[in-house]
Amino acid sequence: MGDGIAGIDALLRDRLLIMVNDRSAIEILPHVRAHTGGLVLTGADAPVRCKEIRNARGQTVVAMDHGSHTQTIATAEAPFGLRTRLGWRDLDLTDLNEVLDGQRDNKASFAVTPTCFIPADTTGDALVLRSAIGQANQLLREDTVVLLPCSWRWLRGVPLRQLVEQIRACRHPVALILQADGDPLERAGASDGLRQLCRSCPRLMLWRTDLAAFDAMAHGAMGAAIGASAVLRHGVAPRPDSGGGGHKPYPVVLIRRLLRYVRVTTLLDWFARLDPWICDCAVCNGASLARFTDRDHDVLAALQHTVRELYVLHDGLAATLPGYERVDWWRQKLADSAEHHRRLAAETELEVLYPRVLQYWRRSSPLPLPPAQHHRSHDQRRPS
């Protein structure tokens, strides 16, 4: 492989990817920033679509996520696997290499491990996590990101320390997916834990996420992949028969000044007696943000608007220096969003709830965890 470790780090650093099903990829593509963005494709036709896009626009970064974590739970024996036409297949190291080569053969800019779901640890020794990282460290390649699809419970206490230790021990960059029923970062301690993780692990990306991407990158994450549809904005517990899709998408719009996604029905309530907010992005072109219906055309336009707005936010983040300056930028965005919520409530005379996760992000940040070495010697000295 031509790309060294430094090569893949430079490729991912400060990059905001959009995670999207292969069916919507072509319509999203023109709204993705070529130099600071890219796509992560999901869905059965991801490999075909990846090759198409990379043939047409070779400068666009494209990778794929096979979604093994949505189908099967990882074990220490088989942390990696893949659903094939012949059924489920556990992957040994040789198979894993073949799958990663297959992604590169389909012109993926970098390879992503098909890691199965890693639930909360019951053994206390993080056996499954260790096995995934241990096997990945045997891969003789420099073009790969190790995907860790984990329960949100890894973000607290001893499991958090183990997670930090394993991500630091990984010789590849790591992409973390957080799973919970609902928003994982609304769970007690989760948003603080994620900040500690990001501050402690310089080669970490947050995947299949929402605006948490910005909180993570402000706190040191190297990059992120934000889901285009609601189901791609956090991890899900594995369901062997999940075919994807099924329920009809409804339009959800990113309201950048509020730092949140809002359903159009809510926007219609807000703007019933008030001039609706307009948007100047290239998709909306000065039109109302409440105009989207649930017709396919509007659902797509709402998505395109959202991608545009994500990159406007990302431009702001990328213009700051990592560290204090970036944290300050994010804190100001959060303070502004609180003020916009307050004004909106005053103008509409409605109760406009300030989302819990934004409240959490407005709190001060925890310190990074000390180096792993320190923990180990500390643990050994502790009397039993």
Residues that bind Zn ion (CB under 5 A): 279, 281, 283-284, 305
Three-state secondary structure call for residue 353: coil
CB of 283 to Zn ion, least distance (A): 5
Question: What is the C-alpha separation between 289 and 226, in angstroms, rounded?
Answer: 21
Question: What is the C-alpha separation between 126 and 370, in angstroms, rounded?
Answer: 19
Query: Which CB, 50 or 284, lies closer to Zn ion?
Result: 284
Query: Which CB, 80 or 311, lies closer to Zn ion?
Result: 311
Query: Which CB, 133 or 281, lies closer to Zn ion?
Result: 281
CB of 308 to Zn ion, least distance (A): 6
Question: What is the C-alpha separation between 180 and 186, in angstroms, rounded?
Answer: 9
CB of 188 to Zn ion, least distance (A): 35
Three-state secondary structure call for residue 167: helix
CB of 232 to Zn ion, least distance (A): 20
CB of 302 to Zn ion, least distance (A): 9
CB of 18 to Zn ion, least distance (A): 15
- Considering only the C-alpha atoms of the chain, give the largest distance between any 2 of them, rounded to a whole number of Å: 67
Query: Which CB, 99 or 290, lies closer to Zn ion?
Result: 290
Three-state secondary structure call for residue 37: coil
Three-state secondary structure call for residue 119: coil
Query: Which CB, 174 or 281, lies closer to Zn ion?
Result: 281
Sequential DSSP letters for 272-318: TSSPPPB--STTTTT-BTT---SSHHHHHHHHHHHHHHHHHHHHHHH
Q: What is the DSSP letter of 140?
A: -
CB of 305 to Zn ion, least distance (A): 4
Can you read off the two tokens belonging to residue 253?
């719009």
Question: What is the C-alpha separation between 99 and 121, in angstroms, rounded?
Answer: 27
* Terminal-to-terminal C-alpha distance of the chain: 47
178 membership: H or E segment, kind and range? strand 174-179
Establish how many alpha carbons lie within 13 A of residue 71's alpha carbon, considering only the half-sphere containing its beta carbon: 22
224 membership: H or E segment, kind and range? strand 223-227
CB of 253 to Zn ion, least distance (A): 8
Is 30:89 a contact under the CB 8 Å cutoff?
no
Query: Which CB, 74 or 303, lies closer to Zn ion?
Result: 303
Query: Which CB, 152 or 292, lies closer to Zn ion?
Result: 292
Query: Which CB, 204 or 289, lies closer to Zn ion?
Result: 289
Question: What is the C-alpha separation between 82 and 66, in angstroms, rounded?
Answer: 7
CA dihedral of 209, 210, 215, 221, whole degrees rounded to 10 = 30
Query: Which CB, 207 or 292, lies closer to Zn ion?
Result: 292
CB of 286 to Zn ion, least distance (A): 9
β-bridge mates for residue 18, sequence order: 39, 226
Question: What is the C-alpha separation between 296 and 273, in angstroms, rounded?
Answer: 27
CB of 117 to Zn ion, least distance (A): 35
Query: Which CB, 39 or 283, lies closer to Zn ion?
Result: 283
